[in-house]
Amino acid sequence: MSQFKLYQGQHLKQEMRINPRLYQAMELLYMPLLDLQQHLKTEMAENPFLEMQEADVAQELELKEETPEKNDENEIDWEEILLDGFDAGGRKQEYEHKEYIPPTAVETPDLRDELTRQLRMLDLPERELRLGEEIIGNLNDGGLLSCGLDEVVEALNEWLSEVRAIALERAREIEDDEEREAELAELQALFADYTVEEAEEILGEIQRLDPPGVGARSLQESILIQMRQAGEHDTLAYAVVEGHFQDLVNHKWTDIARALDVTPREVQEAADTLARFDPKPGLGLSADPEQYVIPDLIVEKIDGEYMVFVNDTNLPRLRISRAYREVARDRNKFTGENKEFISSKLNSANWMIQAIEQRRQTMLKVMNFIVDRQREFFEKGVQYLRPLTLREVAEHIDMHESTVSRVTNEKFVQTPRGVYSLKFFFSSGLSTDSGEDISARGVKDKIKNLVDEEDEKKPLTDAAIVRLLKDDGVQIARRTVAKYRDQLGILPARMRKRV
């Protein structure tokens, strides 16, 4: 019989753990400007040592001289951490998934809320209103029905049977026979199973609500609804959508013209009018809040040179509070819980001020390198955008690639050419005959310009675009052109052809 024994021993193991403050520092880099503003306001509300005023250098130095001595073991070398690109040197899995989570937006009325409100204004019986709300609940964000009416009816009837059983059971407990029978009859009528025919009628009511086109079971039906509400039910365009929708999608103008006994040009002109109708009418009332972009950085051309500024005008400028500075000066208060509270909040305040400044300096370093690298873009436009990777920036400013990624994530810059995401300036490259690379984004812009200027009766094929780009010195494969064209939302040549 084997025996188990317990042993006690000592082992030396070298291990580094990430300080929680480092997570916070990485989150500060990740935050867009609006979220950072809210974060700093929260910090000021929680930490009495912070106040929103312009920093007074003399007072900050005085405070540091009078701050009580701290235990060296608890000291954190912020300069080493912050200025070294947040390289913790520990196990990467401990912090690589610690991303900043933006605050949740306040819930606002969406498409379904608005349609339900309109439906209730129709003063429908409770039974029909219940069915209408069930149908509305199955609309997607574009406003189209995401499943068949039979599925809606089946799911609603399953729920209805459970509710009906409970209601009937309670009704049977009524002592008065006449009252009980009347209640049972009313409940049987109110909770009777729905039919697909009933659902069709209520769906018709929903399809008359705003915005036009909601409640349709397909894109074709949505456009037809919009055309009927616009009074265009007797037009050639309506006939094309109603009877030849698939050929319309595939731009088969000749086949449609032959079927309708009109010319291909007339079909094409009728199809052009359909651009006025919304293929996803519900998106205007989607639940996603509007995203307002406030640039984190500003690039201006001053005396022929591009200068970079941090757009922190509306950002709270932090400093140590005057009132609590006096508290920190009184060494008699540094006992027991007072000492722990004051030391903790003061350290936190000092750290926050340093971290915000380091965030500012890091953003400036990254953007200054981008401006230097992409100067031709600022001078001449997108086609002169050069290839650039996060690694190149990281190596130049002597920081980690993950740090640069956080700095550029969800950040925007205002430039003389418009407002751009910092990610806009990063893309892979293609070779040119001159030996210099051109960015993929620049090539896409060239393709777009070629298509914009093509002869509509003889649109450029992918092979033709390859030849034109090669004439311009850009080495590119046909499949790459096709991929970029798809990404730009440009149709193949045969579907761009005009008659």
Which tens digit of pLDDT belongs to each residue from 68-124?
444 444 444 434 444 444 443 444 444 444 444 455 445 556 888 899 999 999 988
Whole-structure pTM over 0.75, yes or no?
Answer: no
| Greater pLDDT, 328 or 225 | 225
pLDDT reading at 147 higher than 50: yes
For position 334, what pLDDT does the model report? 56
φ, ψ of residue 474 to 5 degrees: the values are -100, 120
| Greater pLDDT, 476 or 215 | 215
pLDDT digits (tens, 9 = 90+) for 37-60: 788 888 877 777 777 765 444 444
In three-state secondary structure terms, 127 is helix
Place of tokens 């300069």: 79
pLDDT digits (tens, 9 = 90+) for 305-335: 999 998 877 676 777 777 666 666 666 655 6
- Average pLDDT for 221-239: 94
In three-state secondary structure terms, 310 is strand
- Torsion, Cα 30 33 38 40, to 10 degrees, reads 70
Residue 412, strand partner residues:
421
- Average pLDDT for 20-31: 68
User: What's the DSSP call for residue 218?
Assistant: S
pLDDT reading at 168 higher than 80: no
147/138 Cα distance (integer angstroms):
7
Query: With contact defined as beta carbons under 8 Å apart, do 378 and 413 qualify?
Result: no
pLDDT reading at 212 higher than 60: yes
Place of tokens 């990610």: 423
321/345 Cα distance (integer angstroms):
11
Pairing of strands 438-439, 412-415: unpaired
Q: What is the mean pLDDT of the chain?
A: 79
pLDDT reading at 363 higher than 50: yes
Percent of the chain with pLDDT over 90: 27
Give the list of residues 6+ apart from residue 449 with CB closer than 8 angstroms, or none: 383
Q: Measuring CA to CA, which residue among 320, 358, 357 is closest to residue 342?
A: 320
- Average pLDDT for 246-259: 92
180/173 Cα distance (integer angstroms):
8
In three-state secondary structure terms, 207 is coil
Q: Measuring CA to CA, which residue among 427, 426, 438 is closest to residue 473?
A: 438
* Count of other CB atoms within 10 angstroms of residue 93: 7
- Average pLDDT for 7-25: 58
Structural domains for the chain: 20-100+318-342 (no CATH), 109-232+277-288 (no CATH), 297-312+351-425 (no CATH), 429-496 (1.10.10.60)
Q: Measuring CA to CA, which residue among 426, 378, 414 is closest to residue 297?
A: 414
Q: Identity (one letter) of the amino acid at 303? A: D
Residue 448 CA, distance from chain mean position: 25
Which band of pLDDT confidence, cut at 50, 70 and 90, is reported for residue 261? Answer: very high
H runs (alpha helix) in 207-284: 219-229, 236-243, 245-249, 253-260, 264-272
Q: How far is CA 491 from CA 131, 245, 329, 468, 496, in A?
A: 41, 17, 71, 18, 6
Q: What is the greatest pairwise CA distance in the chain?
A: 99
pLDDT digits (tens, 9 = 90+) for 447-475: 888 988 888 888 888 888 888 888 888 88
325/344 Cα distance (integer angstroms):
14
DSSP string, 333-394: G-SHHHHHHHHHHHHHHHHHHHHHHHHHHHHHHHHHHHHHHTHHHHHH-GGGPPPB-HHHHH
